[in-house]
């Protein structure tokens, strides 16, 4: 019997040490939820880093045993690998380049070599456990070389690859010194998926300009094999968000939070700390809004939740300082004794708190400079059980392609953002409900389970098609 192996940089659990004891914290992320029911079936497996550096072989063995019971297998990374592969090449070379921040990208041979070596390490772990006919689904930009490495070791396996972040236009991608190796690494897959049609188009264009392979309806022929490139917009676990938002606990929390705020209108902003998310630009727009519409002073509060992320990377430290300073400046200028225009939280919260924030927000301000998809805006819509609320969404988020009922803005256009804030705050309830209803219908249908089954079905189709192409 063939099995399915999922491979991602991180496992859907995080290993932690507390008082000398190892504990496993389950991830609530979208991917973990979507794939949860699949990797736990039969012999299926999830392979990835457990989120902690463990040096002693004996402890590694114990962890592997524990994880095996949950259909998981660890890849252990050293401190240097975390620094050079994860923080370095993945997050200081690929992440900025793929999000059109190429001025932030560093190009260092040493980081590239560690990236290659770590991809090889993942390949070795997969090869230890995979049978020749297994299906392997590789995820995201940390593992771009893995599909080809696997293809070499397991030529008959079925390999899918999904990229969660954008794929930039050729003019940006070509700046990478290792552009050819990266594309060749990805082309080892049978099916390569992106969130949007535009990302897929950019990828095909880079393959054509850099390697010389053309494509027909997404099919690329490398001379020895055919593979398909397609778009699969990722959905959320809609039912889960709607159900949590209906619990008594969440309703109670919302009441408490609302009761503590003087302002009647709440604007919500939730992101990981990342320059791609446009957090400073959002604050500038809010500051201009307060200057332009003084009648909203004391009537509106921006609740801004910033989740710590990649704090060992220099650019993220600088961004944190910039955000701290901007919040301080706005509050310093506009606060009254009982009103702070910005309520700023730099930490992460449990799902119930997040859900209460979504419920109470009259406006969600989701304005990334670039985002592969963006799940926060989808979770906001799913949590709006009374259908009241307005989503302001950046055109640069993959989600904007599906959520055309949001107020779509260009995050570089501060005037447009200021106007959108005003429009959202005065929008009649009936109009809010209409837009929210339409977005909810879309997200209910194209949920995370739909995304997984679309990708898996397409992967099976590619294998069948490859066989028929080989025999004709």
Catalytic center residues: 164, 371
241 three-class SS: helix
Closer CB to ligand GDG, 251 or 307, in the complex: 307
Closer CB to ligand GDG, 217 or 347, in the complex: 347
Q: How far, rounded to the nearest angstrom, does the alpha carbon of residue 292 sit from its chain's CA centroid?
A: 34
Q: How far, rounded to the nearest angstrom, does the alpha carbon of residue 383 sit from its chain's CA centroid?
A: 19
d(CA 161, CA 240): 26
Closer CB to ligand GDG, 151 or 389, in the complex: 389
CA dihedral (54, 56, 57, 60) in degrees, to 10, reads: -30
d(CA 107, CA 46): 31
Q: How many CB atoms lie within 10 A of CB 274?
A: 23
Closer CB to ligand GDG, 272 or 315, in the complex: 272
Q: DSSP for 5-64, please give it.
A: EEEEEE-SEEEEEETTEEEEEEP--HHHHHHHHHHTSTT-EEEEE-SS----HHHHHHHH
Q: How many CB atoms lie within 10 A of CB 334?
A: 18
State the nearest-atom distance from the C-beta of 140 to ligand GDG, in Å: 8
State the nearest-atom distance from the C-beta of 95 to ligand GDG, in Å: 9
Closer CB to ligand GDG, 369 or 390, in the complex: 369
Closer CB to ligand GDG, 164 or 282, in the complex: 164
State the nearest-atom distance from the C-beta of 34 to ligand GDG, in Å: 10
Neighbour-count burial of 322, counting CB atoms closer than 10 A to its CB (0-12 exposed, 13-18 middle, 19+ buried)? middle
**For residue 342, what are its two tokens?**
């910005």
276 three-class SS: helix
**Half-sphere CA count of 443, side-chain side, radius 13 A:** 30
E-strand spans in 326-369? Answer: 342-346, 363-366
| 135-139 vs 158-162, strand pairing mode | parallel
State the nearest-atom distance from the C-beta of 348 to ligand GDG, in Å: 3
d(CA 283, CA 278): 9
State the nearest-atom distance from the C-beta of 347 to ligand GDG, in Å: 7
- CB 363 within 8 Å of CB 421: yes
- What does the binding site for ligand GDG look like in residue numbers (CB under 6 A)? 28, 30, 164-165, 234, 270, 272, 307, 348-351, 354, 371-376, 379
Closer CB to ligand GDG, 220 or 236, in the complex: 236
State the nearest-atom distance from the C-beta of 366 to ligand GDG, in Å: 8
State the nearest-atom distance from the C-beta of 211 to ligand GDG, in Å: 26
**For residue 212, what are its two tokens?**
């010389």
């Amino acid at each position: 019997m063939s099995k399915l192996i999922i491979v991602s940089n991180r496992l859907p659990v995080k290993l932690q040490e507390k008082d000398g004891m190892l504990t496993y914290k389950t991830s609530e992320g979208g991917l973990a939820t979507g794939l949860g029911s699949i990797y736990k079936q039969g012999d299926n497996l999830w392979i990835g880093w457990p989120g902690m550096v463990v040096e002693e072989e004996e402890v590694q063995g114990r962890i592997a045993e524990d994880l095996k019971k949950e259909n998981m297998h660890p890849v252990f990374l050293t401190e240097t690998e975390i620094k050079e592969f994860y923080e370095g090449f993945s997050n200081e070379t690929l992440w900025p380049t793929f999000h059109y921040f190429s001025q932030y990208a560093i190009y260092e041979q040493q980081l590239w070599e560690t990236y290659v070596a770590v991809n090889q390490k993942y390949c070795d772990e997969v090869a230890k456990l995979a049978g020749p006919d297994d299906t392997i689904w590789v995820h995201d930009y940390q593992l771009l070389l893995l599909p080809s490495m696997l293809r070499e070791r397991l030529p008959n396996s079925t390999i899918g690859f999904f990229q969660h972040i954008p794929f930039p236009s050729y003019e940006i991608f070509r700046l990478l010194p290792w552009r050819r190796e990266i594309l060749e690494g990805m082309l080892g897959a049978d099916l390569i998926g992106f969130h949007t049609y535009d990302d897929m188009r950019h990828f095909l264009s880079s393959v054509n300009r850099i390697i010389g392979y053309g494509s027909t309806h997404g099919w690329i022929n490398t001379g020895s094999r055919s593979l398909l490139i397609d778009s699969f917009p990722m959905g959320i676990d809609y039912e889960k968000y709607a159900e949590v938002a209906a619990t008594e606990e969440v309703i109670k929390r919302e009441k408490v939070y609302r009761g503590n705020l003087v302002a009647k209108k709440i604007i919500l902003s939730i992101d990981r700390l990342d320059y791609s998310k446009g957090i400073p630009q959002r604050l500038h727009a809010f500051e201009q809004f307060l200057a332009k519409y003084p009648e909203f002073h004391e009537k509106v509060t921006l609740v801004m939740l910033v989740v710590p992320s990649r704090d060992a990377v220099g650019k993220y430290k600088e961004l944190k300082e910039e955000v701290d300073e901007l919040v301080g400046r706005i509050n310093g200028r506009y606060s009254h004794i009982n009103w702070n225009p910005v309520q700023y939280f730099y930490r992460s919260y449990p799902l119930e708190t997040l859900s209460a924030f979504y419920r109470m927000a009259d406006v969600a301000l989701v304005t990334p400079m670039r985002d592969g998809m963006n799940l926060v805006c989808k979770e906001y819509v799913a949590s709006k059980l009374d259908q009241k609320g307005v989503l302001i969404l950046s055109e640069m988020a993959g989600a904007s392609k599906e959520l055309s009922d949001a107020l779509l803005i260009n995050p570089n256009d501060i005037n447009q953002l200021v106007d959108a804030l005003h429009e959202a705050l005065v929008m009649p309830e009936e109009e809010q409900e209409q837009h929210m209803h339409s977005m909810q219908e879309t997200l209910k249908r194209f949920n995370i389970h739909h995304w997984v089954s679309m990708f898996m079905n397409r992967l099976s189709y590619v294998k069948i098609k490859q066989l028929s192409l080989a025999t004709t």
